[in-house]
Amino acid sequence: MISNRELFLKNTAQTSNSPRLLEIERAEGVYLYGPNGEKYMDLVSGFNVSNIGHRHPKVLEAIQDQLDRFMHVTVYGEFVQAPQVQLATELLEVLPNSFQSVYFTNSGAEAVEGSMKIAKKYTGRRQIIAAKHAYHGSTQGALSLIGNDEYRASYAPLLPEISFIEFNNIDDLANITENTAAVIVEAVQGEAGVRVPSKEYMQALRQKCTETGTLLIFDEIQTGFGRTGKLFAFEHFEIIPDILMLAKGIGGGMPLGAFVAPKEIMDVIKDNPMLGHITTFGGHPVSCAAARASLQVIQEENLVQDVERKANLFRSELNIPQIKEIRGLGLMMCLQLENFDQVYQVSNYCANQGLIIDWYLHCETALRIAPPLTISDQQIIDSCKIIKAGIAKFC
């Protein structure tokens, strides 16, 4: 019989020449299980998705309840669907008052696409500024914002009138002018290798956008839903962006994204032309039901409040000389090593020892650590033991 691994290589599109090839049969909490009794601790949360762990019982219950009612019924924006309406309301309740309207998408990249469209239409301007080394997704609009030529070159031409500034560089803010429709930045740059900007920078960015009438769009697709020790990372900087983009951790493991804006800005998509931004599956009711349960779990289990303490435990357990630097905000962390070979060897070693860690798209010299926020102290200690053993062997 042909194995699933062979069929994966033969029949599904490959995104690299060296896929991980771990076969997963089941997942629960912080663990993934393979078909032959393998057990892995998941220290990357499916890339910042499983903030509340895999298959949280409250999420499963909400999904089952919604399955018993209805699944897809119409394109987004036509019928009143309770899971969407309730989720939008609950999101707006935990956000500042300037956020008044939620558009649900299927993914992060689609939240980016929609945000760019409303920014252009609302301001009447065309220029969009992004940050060097940014990652915002793989669709053509989002790809246009990737601050890394290597990823853009093969797919050119991309969107016109996109320019780039240095992230966390106050002098570069001079490039934002009255011609700029929007500045799109990650609250903390993820794929660049977890680059945490200063509060001073973010406040200066906010001020420059306000002065020039430019919309400030925050990508909180990796940083949202407690990951950094606040429900949303913009809270660290004591500023409020104009548009907030969400995905990954929002859905409790189900596919969902959103962009959130003041009503006046969001309303530009409803006419001239009407139906100018639509999606068939965006805001799928089962995903929205899961997201409601997930947000409730984050709140009821006080997960955000414990992030900083858990991050500090990682930091103290991993305080060894071979790790050049631990960058991070909350449980969005990276361990800076010397080269990709070390990163590759250590992450393979960890996988063989039952621990999933990874690296970052634009920073292959650092290990990615972003566990479910539900990880216990003992699990942190156990995982650090494996990482340290790997580092001792290969660095």
Output 183 or 395, the one with its CB closest to ligand PLP.
183
Contacts of 256 (CB under 8 A, 6+ apart): 104, 105, 106, 247, 250, 283, 284, 287, 288, 290, 291
Q: Which of 190, 197, 224, 390 binds ligand PLP (CB under 6 A)?
A: 190
* Pick 40 or 135: Cβ nearer ligand PLP: 135
CB of residue 324 vs ligand PLP: minimum separation in angstroms? 23
Q: Are 164 and 130 contacting, i.e. CB atoms less than 8 angstroms apart?
A: yes
Stretch that binds ligand PLP, among 132-140, 149-157, 299-307, 326-334 (CB under 6 A): 132-140
Q: Does 196 bind ligand PLP (CB under 6 A)?
A: no
Minimum Å gap between C-beta 47 and ligand PLP is 6
Tokens 């689609």 belong to residue: 110
Q: Is the Cβ of residue 46 or residue 262 nearer to ligand PLP in the bound state?
A: 46
Q: Closest Cα to residue 275, out of 78, 104, 123? A: 78
Binding of ligand PLP by 222 (CB under 6 A): yes
Is residue 50 involved in binding ligand PLP (CB under 6 A)?
Answer: no
Kindly list the distances between the CA atom of residue 280 and the CA atoms of 69, 82, 83, 259, 312, in Å, as whole numbers in the listed order: 19, 17, 16, 16, 43
Radius of gyration of the chain, Cα coordinates, nearest whole angstrom = 21
Q: How many CB atoms lie within 10 A of CB 370?
A: 28
Q: Which of 145, 173, 184, 219 binds ligand PLP (CB under 6 A)?
A: 219
If one asks whether residue 284 binds ligand PLP (CB under 6 A), the answer comes out as: no
Q: What CA–CA distance (Å, rounded) separates 293 from 60?
A: 9
Contact between 247 and ligand PLP per CB under 6 A: yes
Candidate list 56, 120, 136, 195; residue touching ligand PLP; CB under 6 A: 136
Rounded to a whole number of angstroms, the minimum distance from the CB of residue 278 to ligand PLP is 18
Q: How far apart are CA 376 and CA 71, in angstroms?
A: 35
CB 83 within 8 Å of CB 288: yes
Which parts of this chain interact with ligand PLP (CB under 6 A)?
47, 107-109, 112, 135-137, 186, 190, 219, 221-222, 247
